Amino acid sequence: MSNINIINSYIGKPDKARFISALKRESVDRVPNFDVLIEDKHVEKILGRFAGNTASYNSSPSKGSLEEIDNANIQPMKGEDFVDLCEIIGQDVMLLHTNIWIPFKIIDKNGKLINLPAHSIKSRQDFKKTVIDSGTQISNLVKQIRGYKEVIRKRNSKIGIAVGPGILLQTLYEIVVGINDFMIMCYEERDLVEDMLDVEMEHCIKTTMAILDEGIDVFFPADDIAFKTGLFLPPGLMKEIWIPRMKKLIEPVKNKGIPIIFHSDGNLDEIVKDLIAIGIDCLHPLDPYSIDYKEYKKKYGNNLSFAGNIDIEFPLAKGTTEDVKKDVIEHLKIMMPGGGYILSSSHSIVNYIPFENFVVMLNTVHEYGLY
């Protein structure tokens, strides 16, 4: 690695088959690399042109209120740009996630359907005024999937597409209700919480069936359900109100034989066995402040694959290139045996990570992640 700003050539072109095999803990030629989001400054340095970030061309669907997200008129990264990026960095799968927030709407005084103001549901009466605009969101998502698939076809590429159904719990506590009021609501108005979850579930199942009809390669449900020391809600409550709904959501995906990556930040110790039981194939991103990746590999490596745990703070943001290389090699030594590892950051490749550290992460997994 003579130049720390150059992404070296690697063995094995991007191929969804490699990624899927890793998720199933089958043999692969090399450890796949993958990140849910690579921000715009890194993308521009890699491609030599502005192309937005890998979540969107002009914004980020994971940031802001529903109004802000809508007003940003978010479009996914252009298919040609995303394929170019994957070919340069060796990534096997493109994640399409412009649909992550469930589209709660209200009717304004002019009879127009508008986005729900942030944190505005505080009672059942508030909830009764809402609708979920499934049709518009699903139609847009289907068009985006078809656009990506057409680019892949034209390029004769083997890159895959990953899509999720929308976020259940997090949409409620982060966007719709507000986290403090939501936690209180789970105890004082549990029926209301479950009714809101059921309405969301209906939307997510519609989304799931639509994307299955289009044909996807990886299913990527995401829901931040935990923080550093444990679940946001007591395990018993999560197993009553969240696990059964998640199980119902992924059943048609399992029936199709499509692998499932579940994303949540935080400490998942109290619910890992439940995730295995309902059919999750892979955990992402193995929050390094909460999860001992060595212990998870030892305890759950026969039942789960893993993606992530390369800490975006140290070594990626605050370490040297040697720190990054050392950390990646240490992860590979532990996680490679028996298969089932996808190298990824613990969050995303944000702009404040030095570009040379991202490059070294990629070059190291391509050099030392060979089987």
pLDDT in tens, 282-315: 999 999 999 999 999 999 999 999 999 999 999 9
Q: 184 lies in a domain?
A: yes
**Considering the domain boundaries, does residue 2 fall inside one?**
no
How confident is the model at residue 148, as a pLDDT? 98
Return the SS3 of 130.
Answer: strand
Structural domain harbouring 222: 16-368
Cis peptide bond prior to 285, omega within 30° of 0: yes
1 in any annotated domain: no
pLDDT profile of the chain (371 residues), mean per 10: 81 97 98 97 97 84 52 78 98 94 93 92 97 95 97 98 96 96 97 98 98 98 96 97 98 98 98 98 97 98 98 98 98 98 97 98 98 97
Contacts made by residues 181-190, CB under 8 angstroms, sequence distance 24+: 181/119, 181/122, 183/232, 183/233, 186/233, 186/237, 186/241, 189/124, 190/241
We report the CATH number of the domain holding residue 63 as 3.20.20.210
In a domain, 100, yes or no: yes
DSSP string, 193-240: HHHHHHHHHHHHHHHHHHHHHH--SEE--B---EETTEESS-HHHHHH
Looking at beta carbons, which pairs linking 121-124 to residues 24 or more positions away fall under 8 Å? 121/176, 121/177, 121/196, 122/177, 122/181, 123/192, 124/189, 124/192, 124/195
Give me the amino acid identity at 156: N
Number of structural domains (the chain) is 1
Beta bridge partners of 160: 93
pLDDT of residue 58: 74
Which phi and psi angles does 284 have, rounded to 5°? -140, 140
Q: Does residue 3 belong to any structural domain of this protein?
A: no
- For residue 66, the model assigns a pLDDT of 55
182 assigned to some structural domain: yes
Residue 210 belongs to a domain: yes
Nearest to 226 by CA among 257, 263, 195, 194: 263
Enter the DSSP assignment of 259: -
